[in-house]
Structure 1
Amino acid sequence: NLQISNLDSFTFKTYIDDEKEYREHLNVFKKVIELSKRLDLTYTRIFTFWYEGELDHYLDKLIERLSEAIDIAKTEGIIIVIENEYSCLVGNGRDLKTLLDKVDTRWVKVLWDPGNAFVARETPFPNGYGLIKDHVTHMHVKDVKVINGGFKWMPIGKGSINYRNQLSAVKNKPIVISLETHYRNDKNDPEESTRESFLGMKKILNEIEDSF
């Protein structure tokens, strides 16, 4: 009885000035739109090109590049959700707000990733989330902290992100929440690591439920 919430494409994880790659990614996007309609899904995720400098320097070019995808999505009735990705031009809530204000269309929403926002030098909650909270349809959950000067993925609840308040803030909202599997334990065991992180998330969710 599992249901598919959406198809997360890798669209626009490429360089913004690479015309050949841009066209190839648009074709990927069109295929994902086609599959999304076949599966009766309402939205799909895209990115905002590899980071090469501050968003302000690339914003107009980014709007130009996104416009064709937005037109396709609008025509096909599929909403685009943009993930904030620290390796891309739009890395945190502040960048998302800047982009949303610029495109100003109901066909573009947000895949909010607090972990990525943290790595992109933002306090995810309440700072980043507060800027885009009315546009979020999907949220990735992964925790992170700085250890010895570097970012390290952690099990949920053991990093620096205030997930108790973040998850409380989306309670009863129509948002898809996905646990991401970046964290690895000392044995580098993917399954054990993900189970540990999942239990950490469940613990927080149970605490939130009990407090209401």
Structure 2
Amino acid sequence: MPPFRLGVITDEISQDVGDAIRIAKQYGLQGLELRSVDGKQLHRISERRLEEIAAMIHDAGLSICALSTPVFKSHLKNIEEVAAHHRMLRKYAELARRLDARLLRGFSFWADGDFGAVFPAIAEELRQAASVMEEYDLVFALEPDPSVFATNGAKVGALVRAVGSPRVQALYDPGNHLWDPDGELPFPDGYEALRGHICHIHLKDAVREHDRTEAVAIGTGEVGYEQLLARLIADGYDGWLVVETHYRLQSTLSEEQLKRPAGYDFSAGGEAATKECLESFLHLLKQLEQKSL
């Protein structure tokens, strides 16, 4: 069996954590990543409800592998907005401690200028985040995203190295690279740019057609998961692989939903699409295991 652990982001299935638990158990997953529940982002949910959610997950024998936060999806030049996100980061750190999670996913500020010009300022904000992570014994997983400054592996890798702290590492999301305005290849280019700094991996897939990218089931798009999974096994990656579907069977998520995924509208139709992604992905894993025999 591959050494990594498998999970899914709960609101890609439903806003009801019970539904996500059911699917995780059905497909033999080990963990859940939380982003929005009951129609709300985690930092807007009552402490009592969060305790109930944590108890449900742990009673099912599952781990909470990470919290998918919106931290630093904000405007870098807006001082008040950045300060609010630093307060949000501390709030999520407190939630992670209560929920027994070790990773917080975050970003590198809305892209509204030249990356090179703002690189030092972003690195400084991330150094401040690293101090909070040190205080709470957590890791900040910096994700490439087409809507923020660090859109790909090369840019995220440069920031992680500039921060120079084990508390700020890279989240590798090869599917996101298919939306990268710079056109970085998910694999091997995106992977090589982050190799040695990857603490967490999200799984999604897509196809690029001219100037448009469309999400598809994992393994049916352009990421090249067969080669990627073989490489992860060869390199000894033993962290989490977490399905982040971003794909629906009967509808298409809007650009705004992709930028700010949360809530009931976002989750609508997610269960069927996530099942398809899980079945496709687990089939890929089974094929790899058979080839290794």
Q: TM-score category by the smaller chain?
A: over 0.9
The residue aligned with 2:244 is 180
Whole-Å separation in 2 of the counterparts to 1:5 and 1:184: 24
The residue aligned with 2:163 is 103
Is 164-173 or 23-32 further displaced after alignment?
164-173
The answer to whether structure 1 residue 136 and structure 2 residue 198 are counterparts is yes
Q: Secondary structure at the match of 1:6?
A: strand
Q: Secondary structure at the match of 1:5?
A: strand
The residue aligned with 1:59 is 119
Matched residue type, 2:142: I
The residue aligned with 1:10 is 70
Structure 1 runs of 4+ aligned residues shifted over 6 Å read none
Would you say the 8 A contact 2:178–2:213 is kept in 1? no
Q: Secondary structure at the match of 1:106?
A: coil
Whole-Å separation in 2 of the counterparts to 1:104 and 1:73: 13
Q: Secondary structure at the match of 1:32?
A: helix
The residue aligned with 2:280 is 200
Whole-Å separation in 2 of the counterparts to 1:77 and 1:3: 17
Displacement after TM superposition at 1:174 (Å)? 2.1
Q: Report the identity percentage.
A: 28
Would you say the 8 A contact 1:137–1:174 is kept in 2? no
Alpha-carbon distance change, 181 to 79 in structure 1, aligned in 2, over 3 angstroms: same
Would you say the 8 A contact 1:100–1:108 is kept in 2? yes
Displacement after TM superposition at 1:57 (Å)? 1.7
Displacement after TM superposition at 1:41 (Å)? 2.6
| Number of residue equivalences | 212
Q: Secondary structure at the match of 1:14?
A: coil
Displacement after TM superposition at 1:187 (Å)? 5.7
Whole-Å separation in 2 of the counterparts to 1:34 and 1:118: 33
The answer to whether structure 1 residue 168 and structure 2 residue 230 are counterparts is yes
The residue aligned with 1:84 is 144
RCO higher in structure (CA 8 A, sep ≥6): 2
The residue aligned with 1:24 is 84
CA RMSD of aligned residues (A): 1.6
Give unmatched runs, 5+ long, in structure 1: none
Whole-Å separation in 1 of the counterparts to 2:206 and 2:168: 27
Q: Secondary structure at the match of 1:4?
A: strand
Matched residue type, 2:209: I
Give the 5 Å matches for 1:111-150. Answer: 111-120=171-180, 121-147=183-209, 149-150=211-212
Give unmatched runs, 5+ long, in structure 2: 1-60, 253-268
Displacement after TM superposition at 1:40 (Å)? 3.0
Matched residue type, 2:95: L
Alpha-carbon distance change, 32 to 203 in structure 1, aligned in 2, over 3 angstroms: same
Whole-Å separation in 1 of the counterparts to 2:272 and 2:210: 24
TM-score with structure 1 length normalisation?
A: 0.93
Displacement after TM superposition at 1:170 (Å)? 2.1
Would you say the 8 A contact 1:138–1:177 is kept in 2? yes
Whole-Å separation in 1 of the counterparts to 2:273 and 2:101: 30
Would you say the 8 A contact 2:124–2:163 is kept in 1? no
Displacement after TM superposition at 1:58 (Å)? 1.2
TM-score with structure 2 length normalisation?
A: 0.68
Whole-Å separation in 2 of the counterparts to 1:187 and 1:14: 28
Q: Secondary structure at the match of 2:123?
A: helix
Displacement after TM superposition at 1:146 (Å)? 1.5
Alpha-carbon distance change, 187 to 110 in structure 1, aligned in 2, over 3 angstroms: closer
Whole-Å separation in 2 of the counterparts to 1:187 and 1:88: 25
